């Protein structure tokens, strides 16, 4: 059993198609390659772009998205978020001994979209894979997307959630790193959603 399939089984017993489970395996590989510990929206997006099983990957690639370029930008976003977090921590620590200025240990942390990636990577593996190593977990955002995919499949009367359902849920989530990546590459999200709905 692959790491992605193990991760899927640890997450839920819900009914995903074989193609969707294979996609989760690719997402797990992307997560590990990025040095992250939790699978989140950007890893799912990369796996969707690479997917050749159906309409989701085809629609993304038809809009000029390439795994290598999107992966590179995702890592740039992660580096920027880490740098900003470090600067915020320096700012916070610089005021820890100056309460007369009204600063607290939390005052330097602004909640911006850049912190979505950092938040999603803040995790620990709990379950073990077949090789005894900690199995990757899904970030809260990743779980939200997969839950949304299951709900979308149910709404459509499908017995299994497919990569297309995962893409729909990712688009509807609307705030994660994957959406930032699609915005960066100037993808019209509404048009993509419309095209995807016409594949049914």
pLDDT tens digits in sequence order for the chain, 200 residues long? 455 444 455 444 568 998 999 999 999 999 999 988 899 999 999 999 999 988 999 999 999 999 999 999 999 988 888 887 766 555 555 544 443 434 333 333 333 344 344 334 333 333 344 444 446 789 999 999 999 999 999 999 999 999 999 999 999 988 889 999 999 999 999 999 888 887 65
Could you give the CA distance from residue 70 to residue 181 in angstroms, rounded to a whole number?
7
Q: Does residue 25 fall inside a structural domain? A: yes
CB atoms within 10 A of CB 53: 16
Q: Does residue 57 fall inside a structural domain? A: yes
CATH of the domain at 164: 1.10.1780.10
Q: Does residue 145 fall inside a structural domain? A: yes
Q: Does residue 97 fall inside a structural domain? A: no
Q: Does residue 109 fall inside a structural domain? A: no
Q: Does residue 89 fall inside a structural domain? A: no
Reduced to 3 states, what is the DSSP secondary structure of residue 23? helix
Q: Does residue 96 fall inside a structural domain? A: no
Contact 162, 48 (CB under 8 A): no
Task: Name the nearest CA neighbour of 48 among 62, 33, 34, 32.
Answer: 62
Tally of domains in the chain? 1
Domain extent at residue 75:
3-79+124-197
Q: Does residue 176 fall inside a structural domain? A: yes
């Amino acid at each position: 059993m692959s790491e992605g399939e193990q991760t899927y089984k640890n997450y839920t017993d819900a009914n995903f198609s074989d193609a969707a489970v294979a996609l989760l395996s690719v997402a797990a590989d992307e997560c590990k390659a990025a040095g992250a510990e939790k699978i989140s929206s950007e890893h799912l997006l990369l796996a969707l772009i690479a997917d050749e099983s159906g309409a989701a990957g085809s629609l993304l690639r038809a809009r000029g998205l390439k795994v290598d370029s999107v992966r590179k930008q995702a890592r740039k976003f992660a580096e920027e978020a880490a740098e900003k977090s470090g600067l915020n921590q320096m700012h916070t620590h610089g005021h820890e001994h100056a309460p007369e200025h009204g600063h607290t240990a939390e005052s330097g942390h602004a909640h911006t979209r850049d912190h979505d990636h950092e938040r999603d990577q803040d995790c620990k593996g709990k379950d073990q894979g077949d090789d005894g190593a900690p199995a990757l977990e899904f970030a809260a955002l990743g779980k939200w997307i997969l839950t949304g995919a299951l709900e979308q499949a149910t709404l459509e009367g499908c017995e299994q959630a497919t990569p297309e359902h995962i893409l729909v849920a990712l688009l509807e989530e609307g705030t994660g790193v994957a959406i930032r990546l699609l915005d960066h590459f100037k993808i019209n999200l509404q048009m993509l959603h419309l095209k995807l709905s016409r594949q049914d």
